[in-house]
Amino acid sequence: MVIYESCAIGSGSQANNPLLQELPDPITKATWDHYVTISLKDAEALGIENDAEGRTQLVTITANGKSVSVAALVQPGQAPGTLGVALGYGRTNVGLVGKGIGANVYPLLTAGESLGYSITSGVKIEKTETAFQIAQTQIHQTYMGRANVVQESILSDYLSNPNEWNDKAPKITSWDKKVPPGSLSMWKGHEYKNHHWGMAIDLNTCTGCGSCVVACNVENNVALVGKEEVINRREMHWLRIDRYYSSEADVEDYQGLEKASDNPEVVFQPMLCQHCNNAPCETVCPVAATTHSTEGLNQMTYNRCIGTRYCANNCPYKVRRFNWFKYHDNQKFLQANPAMNTDLGRMVLNPDVTVRSRGVMEKCSFCAQRIQAGKLNAKKERRPVQDGEVVTACQAACSTGAIVFGDMNDPESKISKLLEIDHYMEVEKDGKVEKVFNHTIDKKIGNPRAYRVLEEIGVKPNIFYLTKIRNKDKDSKNA
């Protein structure tokens, strides 16, 4: 059995931090809970049933003469015969938030091992009949072979044909030929004369750690909702990390695709409001509470929202979050969300961002308050906004630099260079072809790795993802 420090709460020092309790584990996507990971084979042998929605049974683990009771979580890719359990839970003197979560596994540690990762052998595990539900933020394991969601390639294939995915992208049939899906539109599209904010997320460098999620929570006063509400699938995170396991099934074998392979590869995909240029949420709101800015942002006006949730239903990325209850000044959420429910807690809220009331929709704003602050500073100094001046909270928190945010209208910006944007387009004027600066939503992207999630539905997001490329040269045919 491996005993490790939990990704979020560490050795237990952070067990009373609700932000970290609600931060999903990068792999299991579990929040607020303590569990022992077990391989599918062992779970079957013990008769443990762990369904997709986290319903499972408690098991008793005995080692070093001590035993604890925790929930079993079946983990794809775990070697049979091994168990994994995190430290830091079951603290007896912890405070309001961490009270009563999990069991203390320190007694099971083998003396002399390091705290971060220790191995205990001679462990006995027994199934109990007590049912338990683990609160996970994601209950489907694979991306169902949908290449329009996650694009992956291996290095040798990428080197031989960098445009592999662009060639494979679905086309739609126009009058006489097949064209890319975004090229036909009934809409006039927007023109961004000043800034055109955009983001690029590199699937290669993202480690799935989740620090962007916490940064976003803190920056934007995102409510924490607690275990029950996570089980109800109502966590409020504006930014989440989707974790997908690979599957060995064929793309048309839907049943098979639902199961992760025995030893899966994992891909992390940070998912947040894509700030679509043809935003499906904007057209359906009856009161125009969600609108498009002149700089490419999809804005949410909380004061105007009446909470029909139509926008969330019509969001293909499912990034909109509804205030099901009043999460502030509500004693029911005191344990999960002290920052909005105690006088002292309220001191940590960001004064630049509204605390949302019950019944309204919210979502990623591209840190509109930071954009505004950057623009005002530049204006005071009578100069244009410089690249790097406006940094979103998630970008600032990302230790690997996987998130790049900036002005896509600025040819010198990091994002323009990363995406290799061609800023000029040819326009026919008086019979002559002229090159003019492209202020429209359709910018020519040069980077062959750049793609937009669900490109073919034509919503034209302002967020680009860079294809994940794995180096498997050892087993590649060409090597």
Partner 1 sequence: MQATSSVRETLITGGKTVRDVSEDISRHVENKPNRLWWIAFGFSLILFGFGFYCLAALLWDGIGLWGLNKTVGWAWDITNFVWWVGIGHAGTLISAILLLFRQKWRMSINRAAEAMTIFAVICAATFPLAHMGRLWLGFYWALPLPNTWGSLWVNFNSPLLWDVFAISTYFTVSLVFWYIGLIPDFAVIRDRATRMGHKTRAAIYNALSFGWDGAAKTWMRYESVALILAGLSTPLVLSVHTIVSFDFATSIVPGWHTTIFPPYFVAGAIFSGFAMVLTLLIVTRKVFKLEDYITIYHIELMNIIIIITGSIVGIAYITEFFVAWYGMVPAEFYAFYNRATGPYWWAYWSMMTCNVISPQLFWFKKIRTNIAATFVLSIIVNIGMWFERFVIIVTSIHRDYLPSSWSMFYPTIYDMGEYIFTFGLFFTAFFLFAKFFPVINMAEVKSIIKSSSEQKH
**Distance of closest approach, residue 70 Cβ to partner 1, in angstroms:** 25
131 binds partner 1, rule: CB under 8 A: no
Q: Which residues within the stretch 86-125 sit at the binding site for partner 1 (CB under 8 A)?
A: none
Which among 125, 122, 182 has a CA at the least distance from the CA of 148?
182
What is the CA 281 to chain-centroid distance, rounded? Answer: 19
Q: C-beta of 309: minimal distance to partner 1 in Å?
A: 4
d(CA 224, CA 231): 13
Check if the beta carbon of residue 30 is closer than 8 Å to that of residue 38: no
- Point out which residues pair with 62 in neighbouring strands: 67, 124
166: Cβ contacts below 8 Å, ≥ 6 apart: 448, 451
Residue type, 377: N
CA geometry: angle 245, 251, 254, nearest 5 deg: 80
Which one among 94, 123, 144, 155 touches partner 1, defined by CB under 8 A? Answer: 144
Nearest distance in Å: CB 244, partner 1: 7
> Is 337 a binder of partner 1 (CB under 8 A)?
no
134 binds partner 1 (CB under 8 A): no
- Spatial neighbors of 290 by CB under 8 A, at least 6 apart, are 279, 281, 282, 298, 299, 300, 301, 305, 311, 361
Would you state the structure tokens that stand for residue 128, as one six-digit string? 């109990």
Q: Is residue 139 at the binding interface for partner 1, with CB under 8 A as the rule?
A: yes
40: left (phi over 0), alpha (psi -120 to 50) or beta: alpha
Q: Single out the residue of 22, 242, 410, 455 in contact with partner 1 (rule: CB under 8 A).
A: 242
Is residue 149 near partner 1 by the rule CB under 8 A? yes
- How many chain residues interact with partner 1 (CB under 8 A)? 57
317 binds partner 1 (CB under 8 A): yes
184 binds partner 1 (CB under 8 A): no
Residue closer to partner 1, measured from CB, 66 or 140? 140
- When the beta carbons of 61 and 260 are compared against partner 1, the nearer one is 260
Residues 32 to 91 in contact with partner 1, rule: CB under 8 A: 53
Is residue 407 a contact residue for partner 1 (CB under 8 A)?
A: no
Per DSSP, the three-state class of 239 is coil
Q: Enumerate residues 6+ apart whose C-beta is below 8 A from 46.
A: 38, 59, 72, 125, 126, 127
**In Å, what is the CA distance from 316 to each residue of 124, 152, 280, 455?**
46, 21, 8, 11
83-87 and 55-63 beta bridge pairing: unpaired
| 324 near partner 1, rule: CB under 8 A | yes
Q: Which is nearer to partner 1, 264 or 359 (CB)?
A: 359
Does 140 participate in binding partner 1 (rule CB under 8 A)? yes
Whose CA is closest to 74, among 54, 104, 101, 103? 54
Answer yes or no whether residue 309 interacts with partner 1 by CB under 8 A.
yes
Query: One symbol per residue from 345 to 374: x for binding partner 1 (CB under 8 A), - otherwise; what is it?
Result: ------------xxxxx-------------
Among 64, 232, 372, 471, interactor with partner 1 by CB under 8 A:
232
Smallest distance, partner 1 to C-beta of residue 158, A: 24
Q: How far is the CB of 55 from partner 1 (least distance, A)?
A: 11
Asked whether position 293 contacts partner 1 by CB under 8 A, the answer is no
Q: Which stretch binds partner 1 (CB under 8 A): 5-13, 298-306, 394-402, 413-421?
A: 298-306
Please give the Cα distance from 212 to 217 (Å, whole number). Answer: 8
Local structure of residue 30 (DSSP, 8 states):
E
Residue from 179, 184, 306, 436 in contact with partner 1 (CB under 8 A): 306
Asked whether position 305 contacts partner 1 by CB under 8 A, the answer is: yes
> Where does this chain bind partner 1 (CB under 8 A)?
53, 138-140, 142-144, 146, 149, 229, 232-235, 240, 242-244, 254, 269, 271, 280, 283-288, 304-310, 312-314, 316-318, 320-326, 357-361, 453-454, 457, 459
